[in-house]
Structure 1
Amino acid sequence: MKREHLTAISVHLAATWTVGSAIVFGLGPLLLATLWAGRNAILLGATALAILLSALLMAALGHAARTVQPLTSTRRGLLGWTASVYTFGTAGAATLIFVMALSWEGPFGAHITAALCLLLGFPYAVTAAFLLPNKALRWTTLAVAAVTLASAWYTARQANRPLTDQEWLAEARTPAALLRVGDAPGYALRSSAATDTSYAALYTRPGHQPLTLRISRTDSEGNSATTPNCYGTIAQTMHCTDDGAGRTLVTYLAPTTHKPEALRELRLRRDGLVLTVQFRTPEDLTTARHILTTLHRITPDALPPRLAPCPSATPC
């Protein structure tokens, strides 16, 4: 097969791929919008218009490719080619969307949307390649299709799997010096947050309010580890008392935009870090003291299990 002919075939398949992606992502939202409108007449009209425009676009593409696709040289052949590519391509794209919707659990970010946009044109190109007269190209097309779909499935599965604790910390760029926990007998310990400046863990116990341990280079108000223990904003009303051993007990006396009502914090500054235990009831003060007293470093391998992510409809 001549090089020029191979180039023409490649251009034809690439154009079919592009047009297929445009059909799905250009006309798909139109159908969804009319479906949400709830009017059957408008939906039927929009569906008919979408099919007509898509078929005309695909027919124009097939007519332009008549030099590499002899089937489209006649009117009957062009009609059959258009119907085949459009039908099987759309069915393949719909199958990919269905499988993705069932298997994908995370949000559809920009990179996932872009990858899906490119992938949905693939069934159209595969159908067009399978209709080429060269038998070797048909088998090559099937092999390429199988490899591409397997690669896409593997990539989606890897992107959708939960991060390990080590990957979670690496993604958050959390320094090892911030990984510290204290003991609280009777409480279950879970990692709740990690950033490049802080690490937080949640202590839970049935029938009790949770306690939150936060290790950070700066606190939630942006104060550094050298700032005095008692501080706040104009909107906060607080009472600070010396708790001994360098600790300060802070009680928020009024609700603010930053802190809930009756929140208490036991603060300690040590080793250039701000160590804070947040709790709500006075009875938990002893537990908060014990957590700070027994605070020790941990390795990523000994990290407490992470909290399950909040459902999208539930505020975290």
Structure 2
Amino acid sequence: MGLSTASVYPGEAADTFALAAQLGYDGVEVMVWGEKATQDASTLLGLAERHGVNVLAIHAPTLLLTRAVFGAEPWGKVDRSIELAQAVGAPAVVLHPPFFWQARYARSFVAGVAEREAATGVRLCVENMFTWRPRNAHSTRDFQAYFPTWDPVGQGYRSVTLDISHAATSGSDALAMARALGPTLRHVHLTDGVPGFRDDHLLPGQGDQDCAGVLRHLTHTDFGAAGGQVVVEVNTRNMSTHERREGLASALAFAREHLEGDGDTGSVHVPAPTRRRFRDA
């Protein structure tokens, strides 16, 4: 069980490692962004040793807000993320499919991912995304931002990340997607959400996805035996320090209850969603 550095934002990587150790997480997924610590192997190894938690995965800087991190060339970003993963002993790199305007990158993406996995032994887990929607809830216009598609099912990837919030945003059923991905599902971002234009990354149980069902499904496959990883990636930026700690403790207990049968969700408090839309629901 891992904790993403994105779950502690606007806190820093050091805060994530400390909190992961205090709450009992096994390791950390490092989202590479502008913070220098997330880009530096020696810093990350020092944090891992200090707190006794491993770096489980590196999330490549393929977001719009990280377009300048690790350079502007798409394959350069991927290759530097692989090098960072190898340096810190992480077996996986999470990355997004190409944006529609990255035509040359997109044409070679599936083959390039496969070649790099075979050459390096690092799993390149391509993440499910979603169409971009206008804020007008009544609009039926969707914008295809990713090429050839946001949906990894049937695209030929050997390793896939299932992000449950992204599934919700796209109007998909995360459990159905997990089943459809079969043995290519190697990495899960445990979170929650609802259909709409916002990618909420709620705590498990705050949205309308069957998070428990996804986790139980993993126990009936070779996900764990094959080295699959579950990482909590939620949005806590509007929470107080106490609420964040309680929320991340609840997510870990939720995961262990449905993955291992030994979590105690009754002993933790799940903070109410901070957005009015969910508070009033």
Q: Same fold (TM over 0.5)?
A: no
TM-score normalised by length of structure 2:
0.21
Q: Which has the larger radius of gyration?
A: 1
TM-score normalised by length of structure 1:
0.20
